Structure 1
């Protein structure tokens, strides 16, 4: 069997690493950026930190700030038009997963215009050319979109989210600066942090996992479980650790896939516009408990990584319970909603949600094979 790993060309880490942005632009001979972000980040002053730095180094830029949570086909198409109108030759993605994913889709379409309908990018699209260069500046410690080959777009017309998997979409440069993350609300830091934990756990359990990604995912689980509480409380050192942990998780799952938690979370975003991290966080303990019989010794290793005492000596059933309970406790400690009803789940929608989850590309990697009845039951239990 052969395995593949795709990572960024360059990544910078640490508080204050934003200062390396101008040198990365100049080193590549790029002329004008389209900065892709949202209006909330512009209003919060996060965008200004980037534009002031570019201006101080006499680097040209324009802004597209119409990105919305769970970005839509229309959001992408408007961004493509903005890129062309600006005369840009590269993208700077400033924000969480939504600006990052929007930038990937824009960048791919600019160099592969035959995919301008956006829908045809679903799955593993046969794009011929790499996206225009993307420099990713994440402001949340969760999605790891800055190091993945995946992105997710919402089809509002059909009430669905679709996953695109394309090695051509990975950003050239990632700058993971915790100072760009600590200004986010505590609730957002919590939700995106559990999203990162979900990436690490599902990446560790997925059918395609192998030795290198296991190493990355277990390390990410350890870092995230030790630092998320402090990061939510606003501690810069913990925020730096979270920024690292979520990136390490991204290095792994981008190359091996995820599982049913993500498969079930995507339809919730499409139906109710539920923030992706919140959906993952509510679903993760329930799906973990359901998956447990098909995970071998892996829950023991998860429990150990999350600091469960004597996890190595517990009977297997107890070790599995301990791993699930450790995740539940962390979600509780950082204030994650307890139920999908709190975020708008309607009983009448469950059959359609479950079918969409089964059809989602992430679900195929789940260690236990679900059917429609099982997924419907998991939505109800959650």
Structure 2
């Protein structure tokens, strides 16, 4: 099987693929609650965690919207101890340090992130900063408004300055994993359409690169494949704005990123980190541009896994997608989905000049050589060609 699961895989083949040897690392995510209105149960969940003093972290846009934020503050009741709403995209270190200072003054024991991936990353970063000063850093809770999946992982990034250069530093801190996640589709009502849909592509990127980059089959591979199928259905649905379909997308994002500690990031994510950290591209949009070309680059390197991914990406009404397929079909189906969602697929769509591709390739090679080396012995020549294909 060469470490791949397909729609035709038998139970005995799954056992053979996953049971020979392996290692699964669990994260300290204690509770996930979901359903419309589940945000109103956040207070009782914090009581179960014995964390009665909460600092709420959000964005200016959600503060301006007003109603959703007021509802969450009301649900926290006496546990609400303060609000931080200055979290720009890509989590600047300066913002993290400012929120950490507010947390110190407020004497809180839980950071509740209300927003998308940047807000949740900021909460994790603040917890990490405070953990270096205190015996017990505040826990993190998350009420996500996008499909980025940041709430399920211990990974986060902070944007820093090195002279005139801006870059994003990545961290993996087990203790910063959110302990509580609240998946309430009603709070996504204010999420801009392009952000919601593009964050769904980011969720697919988690699952696809998790499948492609793992050196051996994982016990959670079937969950990742199911997450891909569920996400494609949810994003493609003509009723994608409806609350039940949004909840389906939230649960699909969880399935796509169920075992974050066992996922290795590949080139799509690493190129995205450069595009976001050094060029300011919204993080959710990066996968719309990077993922399909990376999948094409790996079609010849790992055709069996790409066959499997292609089947999972097939539209729900496409019978042909449920059998064996050409590995290059995976990238084609992903790109067609992005186009159907009216999202950008190329760097030129978001204002990049063609001359920038060489700088992007150089930054990826400098910061993430391990990911680039998976292109093969000639990766230093292949990487610029790959970035050029994204233009």
Q: Evaluate the alpha carbon distance shift between residue 292 and residue 99 of structure 1 in structure 2; reply closer, same or farther with a 3 A threshold.
A: same
Report the Cα offset of residue 311 of structure 1. Answer: 4.2
Distance 2:369 2:272 in 1: 10
After TM superposition, list the pairs within 5 Å mapping 1:307-346 onto structure 2. Answer: 307=314, 308-311=318-321, 313-314=323-324, 319-346=326-353
Question: Which of 149, 172, 176 is the aligned partner of 2:179?
Answer: 172
Conservation of the 8 A alpha-carbon contact between 2:73 and 2:80: no
Q: Evaluate the alpha carbon distance shift between residue 361 and residue 253 of structure 1 in structure 2; reply closer, same or farther with a 3 A threshold.
A: farther
Distance 2:352 2:226 in 1: 34
Could you tell me the TM-score, scaled by structure 2's length? 0.86
**Structure 1 residue 14 and structure 2 residue 21: aligned?**
no
C-alpha distance after superposition, 1:249-275 (max 9, x if no partner): 221344222210011111111232111
Q: Evaluate the alpha carbon distance shift between residue 215 and residue 2 of structure 1 in structure 2; reply closer, same or farther with a 3 A threshold.
A: same
Distance 2:166 2:239 in 1: 32
Report the Cα offset of residue 371 of structure 1. Answer: 2.5
Conservation of the 8 A alpha-carbon contact between 1:217 and 1:252: no
**Structure 1 residue 373 and structure 2 residue 365: aligned?**
no
Question: Which of 148, 154, 157 is the aligned partner of 2:153?
Answer: 148
Distance 1:98 1:271 in 2: 15
Q: Evaluate the alpha carbon distance shift between residue 131 and residue 364 of structure 1 in structure 2; reply closer, same or farther with a 3 A threshold.
A: farther
Distance 2:189 2:380 in 1: 40
After TM superposition, list the pairs within 5 Å mapping 1:205-216 onto structure 2. Answer: 205-208=212-215, 210-216=217-223
Distance 1:97 1:172 in 2: 16
Conservation of the 8 A alpha-carbon contact between 1:300 and 1:312: no
Conservation of the 8 A alpha-carbon contact between 1:204 and 1:213: no
**Which residue is equivalent to 1:53?**
75
**Which residue is equivalent to 2:49?**
28
Distance 1:47 1:313 in 2: 46
| 5+ residue gaps, structure 2 | 1-20
Q: Evaluate the alpha carbon distance shift between residue 337 and residue 53 of structure 1 in structure 2; reply closer, same or farther with a 3 A threshold.
A: same
**Which residue is equivalent to 2:16?**
none
Structure 2 counterpart SS, 1:156: strand
Report the Cα offset of residue 3 of structure 1. Answer: 1.1
Distance 1:299 1:130 in 2: 44
Distance 1:274 1:193 in 2: 16
Could you tell me the TM-score, scaled by structure 1's length? 0.88
Question: Which of 50, 65, 76 is the aligned partner of 2:96?
Answer: 76
Conservation of the 8 A alpha-carbon contact between 2:152 and 2:260: no
Distance 1:169 1:372 in 2: 35
Q: Give the count of matched residue pairs.
A: 362
Report the Cα offset of residue 171 of structure 1. Answer: 0.8
After TM superposition, list the pairs within 5 Å mapping 1:87-98 onto structure 2. Answer: 87-98=107-118
**Structure 1 residue 222 and structure 2 residue 229: aligned?**
yes
Report the Cα offset of residue 183 of structure 1. Answer: 2.6
**Structure 1 residue 107 and structure 2 residue 115: aligned?**
no
Question: Which of 141, 158, 165 is the aligned partner of 1:135?
Answer: 141
C-alpha distance after superposition, 1:220-269 (max 9, x if no partner): 11111111133884122211111001111221344222210011111111
Report the Cα offset of residue 278 of structure 1. Answer: 0.8
Conservation of the 8 A alpha-carbon contact between 2:303 and 2:327: no
C-alpha distance after superposition, 1:174-214 (max 9, x if no partner): 11111112331111111101111111111111134523131
CA RMSD of aligned residues (A): 2.2
Distance 2:48 2:372 in 1: 39
| 5+ residue gaps, structure 1 | 115-128
Q: Evaluate the alpha carbon distance shift between residue 16 and residue 293 of structure 1 in structure 2; reply closer, same or farther with a 3 A threshold.
A: same
Conservation of the 8 A alpha-carbon contact between 1:295 and 1:367: no
Conservation of the 8 A alpha-carbon contact between 2:375 and 2:382: no
**Which residue is equivalent to 1:125?**
none
Structure 2 counterpart SS, 1:358: helix
Distance 1:248 1:39 in 2: 30
Distance 2:348 2:239 in 1: 24
Report the Cα offset of residue 97 of structure 1. Answer: 0.6
